[in-house]
A and B are shown apart, each in its own frame.
Chain A
């Protein structure tokens, strides 16, 4: 496993190389998987196929499961009302029990959104390969891990072999420099990046986020950035680990300790892109005058600064972008030229694997302290995990949210994808801290605008898109 290479290499290439189990010219590399995260939606068919083939799970101790997509966010002491959801949750527990896999079901103190609990339990570490049957697995790249989403056939393959055959991706550097203005967050940085490179800009690539702005972000901010790599089409997003990373990891339940901690640390310090390494493409972003961003359309690249207005499709050069914008505006019920600040919302959702960590909740609570949610507006906070929820309650944040008029819910994916009872109705407009503004994503006919936690909170108070410094 020792690195014998002498030519300069990018971070992603280093992590890739150390996981190659077998390499044959003209074929994809066979990679070892260090951590396989599992949830209830994309795993049942994989376990069934294993059983039908008489196969077993090769490394149950490298596999961790939780229930997140379907779980209700109220009344955890009652049976799950939707019988199909209830069955899927039961099947996850039964599969994990029969194959010897650790599972954190609904209500367990370690339960939460799969991409929240991996990092908080110290399971996601630098230099690892992490996969999950979920596209937002890119989140774990914030630690300098190579982390990517897979489909159910690949879930089955990893369960059976703890490996994956993968073609080698291209490399992309995104250099982010400049101080962040007040109330501009990691979410705005990544929305600006997606706006610049498009939903397909990262296809076939592993992105490495670099530069002074990225270095200055907390681990939670870095997770928000890496989380949305997939919205630019990227296979994965990564950030080189540094002292911020190591400080976050130290002392977490599954993090190494004692001599192993020292061994790990000396290894992790080498996980940087070498001087002189080249990338297949490079994108630069200056954040010194960046404003909070709001999406106006039905894909995350359809985004503008909050001071902007809904664009005229005719101004777009690409015919396919023009056609997509026209359709998006019709679905979103928006008129070109409307200022985003004049767009009123019905609902505010703070949650999802993008923005439901403790710092997100602190930021929103800071805006809401002493203020009230606009009358008639529905507002909910769904912490990413039971650990996040407990921490927030210890800090009294729950009381701030409730006093402002927010509903304080139990952890899960919730209204990010509306597989549980938290849904938008037809035509309902939502400011959401989640990651996808696709048609119907938050409920059929629902209209989603992606924003940061600070903008979500300010919007809940103002009743239309707003930044905290505009509030009375």
Chain B
């Protein structure tokens, strides 16, 4: 993962609640075994509508998606995160995220910016009003600011996730530092635990 410190840029206002991961990347796209090239599938069912917000020229090149509550609920597909990043998004703002989507974001370096509902609403309205509005999200400070609209707020990020994002650390490498503790745990597992014989 590449380190993520500050995201700044224009935003796309997605004024909908309960945007599940099936909408972010429809299941037809999940048949692929690659990890790249999912940007073309982002919101693909909705993008066929000419008026869909992502198709509007004033939002081309935006790096932040500002959505309604319960963004990324449903299916665990990490393809949703790959699609958002491949399209060019670096952060998603919502008052509430699906748990698995939020975790998937932090594994890939897409910032899940959870804001108070009132700020979320105000940001969507501000971006609709002024598509050129610049947003700045600072990982170390845990802040989101849109000075052009006089809006600012904070978002939660636990210390561990923040440090991982700031440094771009490899999760598996971090875990394997606990090799001794893992081995110790393995020795003490109950004997009734099931296992399937490993194939040679």
Contact = CB atoms under 8 A, between A and B. Distances in A.
Contacts of A299: 18, 20, 73
Interface in B91-119: 96-100, 103-104, 107-108
Nearest to A264: B192
B76 A440 contact: no
A122 interface: yes
A411 interface: no
Contact of A55 (B69, B78, B172, B190): B172
A44 B32 CA distance: 9
A203 B171 contact: no
Contacts of A298: 18
Contacts of A292: none
B73 A199 contact: yes
Contacts of A27: 158-160
B150 interface: no
Contact of A327 (B16, B32, B76, B189): B16
Contact of A165 (B76, B77, B98, B171): B171
Contacts of A63: 196
Interface residues of A, number: 90
Interface string A128-143: 1000011100000000
B190 A156 contact: no
Contacts of A122: 194
B188 to A, nearest CB: 5
Nearest to A260: B192
Contact of B31 (A200, A267, A419): A419
A216 interface: no
Interface stretch (A82-90, A364-372, A456-464): A82-90
A436 interface: yes
A191 to B, nearest CB: 16
Contacts of B181: 21-22, 30
B16 A323 contact: yes
A34 B31 CA distance: 28
Given A26-B159, A45-B33, A254-B194, A235 B99 contact: yes
29 contacts: A22-B181, A27-B160, A34-B189, A41-B77, A42-B78, A45-B34, A48-B35, A61-B195, A70-B31, A88-B31, A96-B199, A97-B199, A123-B194, A135-B76, A150-B76, A151-B104, A160-B175, A165-B160, A200-B69, A203-B97, A254-B195, A256-B192, A260-B192, A299-B18, A324-B16, A436-B20, A436-B74, A441-B22, A444-B45
Given A96-B199, A161-B175, A320-B68, 9 more contacts: A41-B30, A62-B196, A100-B199, A134-B76, A150-B76, A151-B81, A154-B107, A254-B194, A264-B192
